[in-house]
Amino acid sequence: MENRPLEYDYTVAKMFMVTTIVLGIVGMSIGVFIAFELAFPWLNTILGPDLAEYTNFSRLRPLHTDAVAFGFTVSGIFATWFYVGQRVLKVSMAESKFLMFIGKLQFWLYVIGVTAVVISLFMGYTTSKEYAEFEWPIDIAIVVVWVLWGVSIFGLIGIRREKSLYISVWYYIATFLGVAMLYLFNNMEVPTYFASGGIGDVMHSVSMYAGTNDALVQWWYGHNAVAFVFTVPIIAMIYYFLPKESGQAIYSYKLSLLSFWGLMFVYLWAGGHHLLFSTVPDWMQTMGSIFSVVLILPSWGSAINMLLTMKGEWQQVAASPLIKFMVLASTFYMFSTLEGPIQAIKSVNAIAHFTDWIVGHVHDGTLGWVGFMIIAALYHMAPRVFKRELYSKSLMASQFWIQTLGIVLYFTSMWIAGITQGMMWRAHDEFGNLAYSFIDTVDVLHPYYALRGTGGLLYLVGFFMFAYNIYKTMSARPVEESELQNASPMGA
């Protein structure tokens, strides 16, 4: 040990890479399955009537959203933090036994938490609040995992060699603080077993807020869970991985400063756009709309900064599938941060709300931006943590095109489905009666649901190719340190 030079220690990063891939497969498989359930309802009882309770769309839907958000994405965030954090702070986790222990503890508690989530959601334990379905014992476990991550972040910062924090670290800190605040306030609940002196189910709890207040807090959370799980930490990743992989410095550090503080300030106001035309006060709805449109500025600030980083180096996009993933990710980021504000405009929202267009919007953000960025991050990390070249470049390229096709099928079908349904709901005939019964608006969606399922399936196939590629990388050709400076080494 004494004779070896100091190296970055990726033990914990590797552990979270495994959960990123495993939970990605779980969450996306469930997603594809429930997508096809909407197109072909007989799939609801595919395992027979006795197990129908557990293969039912409604029981699986929270499992899908939570597995991809808190399984795949959060694992990806942790994995990249334990990689990027060390590098930009220029300090190794091997230098602190304490931080190493905290990191491993965080991982194992996380695994236990995920297991508990899967089991409890299958059993039907849910608070019904979207992306906050977990009952109170799991909430407590999640808080502990999160605090441990905070200890890791600030512990590593505490022993850093580089005085200034790199852009990515700002975003990781913001993720930590934002999710902590939102999660705590939204999950304020009273366990009924204890409050009633030991009656009923121990797991059950009741929300501290009622009705409109509950909705307000939930969507303040729900929208910003998207902000601080699907946007902020993913920006953290791209600010590190794109410059590193391409060898180009960020186009403008100053622009990143502006867009960071802009994003921090503006994002939280926009939650009201989930509640347009509901019973929350009008001024709040209007504010939600306006700030959603303002949000384009800081979002595009980051996205343009990314794309301009490639200025004069566009041949790299053609040459490297890894760069392709990241450039398409930032393009999809621009795309969905434009689509979101459009949907937040009141008159558009009147048609779009409650329809599949919203589902489409979420997915071009998550599949295109979040998914692609995490995939690219793991591809970049794999040669460096395993000290081996990436198994296959051509496999990676085909994965890229298959998944891109999947995303395009997904969001185009959902656009058409959403707008069709929204228009049909509000259509009146010449006598002022409703033109369509509800079931008419369901029947018409069948082809789009089938198409969407196909798009999702293509993305899942691509994800399996990704998992296989990473798996084979572990036994590929060993590489020298010097090959790892910028562009990742790839086999044929």
Partner 1 sequence: MFHWLEKNPFFFAVGVFVTIAFAGLIEIVPNFAQASRPVIGTTPYSTLELAGRHVYIKNSCNACHSQLIRPFKSETDRYGHYSLSGEYAYDRPFLWGSKRTGPDLMRVGNYRTTEWHENHMKDPQSIVPTTIMPGYPWMFTNKADIDTAYAEQLTIANVFGVPYNKAVPMKDGSTKIVKMGKDLKDAQALALAEAQEVVKNMKDQDVKDAVANGEIPEIVALIAYLNSLK
Partner 2 sequence: MDINELAAYGYFFLIVFLVVGSYSYIYHLYTKKKDSSGVDYEHYSNMALDDDIDSTPVKPISDEKEK
- Burial tier of 29 (Cβ tally within 10 Å: 0-12, 13-18, 19+): middle
- Burial tier of 191 (Cβ tally within 10 Å: 0-12, 13-18, 19+): middle
CA distance 311 to 332: 18
Q: Which partner, partner 2, partner 1, none, binds residue 247 by CB below 5 to 8 Å per kind?
A: partner 2
- Residues facing 206 on adjacent strands: 190
Among 101, 108, 314, 354, binds partner 1 (CB under 8 A): 354
- Confirm if 479 and 388 have CB atoms less than 8 A apart: yes
CA distance 239 to 243: 7
Asked whether position 249 contacts partner 2 by CB under 8 A, the answer is yes
- Confirm if 456 and 49 have CB atoms less than 8 A apart: no
Residue type, 420: T
Q: Which partner, partner 1, partner 2, none, binds residue 124 by CB below 5 to 8 Å per kind?
A: partner 1
* φ/ψ (deg, to 5) at 434: -60, 135
Candidate ranges 127-135, 234-242, 384-392, 405-413; the one touching partner 1 (CB under 8 A): 127-135
What is the DSSP annotation of 332-352? HHHHHHHHHHHHHSHHHHHHH
Asked whether position 255 contacts partner 1 by CB under 8 A, the answer is no
Contact map string, positions 331 to 370, toward partner 2, x by CB under 8 A: ----------------------------------------
Q: Between residue 159 and residue 218, which ones bind partner 1 under the rule CB under 8 A?
A: 163-165, 170, 173-174, 177-178, 181, 185, 190, 192-193, 195-197, 199-201, 204, 206-207, 209-218
Among 98, 108, 196, 254, binds partner 2 (CB under 8 A): 254
Q: Which partner, partner 2, partner 1, none, binds residue 113 by CB below 5 to 8 Å per kind?
A: none
Q: Which partner, partner 2, partner 1, none, binds residue 46 by CB below 5 to 8 Å per kind?
A: none
Q: Is the Cα dihedral 159, 164, 168, 172 positive or negative? A: positive
Asked whether position 419 contacts partner 1 by CB under 8 A, the answer is no
CB neighbours of residue 127 within 10 Å: 20
Say which residue the tokens 């190719």 belong to. 465
CA distance 453 to 64: 14
Among 58, 124, 162, 314, binds partner 2 (CB under 8 A): 162
Among 100, 157, 290, 317, binds partner 1 (CB under 8 A): 157
What tokens were used for 12?
A: 């914990």
Asked whether position 293 contacts partner 1 by CB under 8 A, the answer is no
C-beta of 137 vs 262, nearer to partner 2: 262
Which residues of this chain interact with partner 2, rule CB under 8 A?
A: 5-8, 87-88, 90-92, 160-164, 166-168, 239-240, 243-244, 247, 249-250, 252-254, 257-258, 262, 265, 486
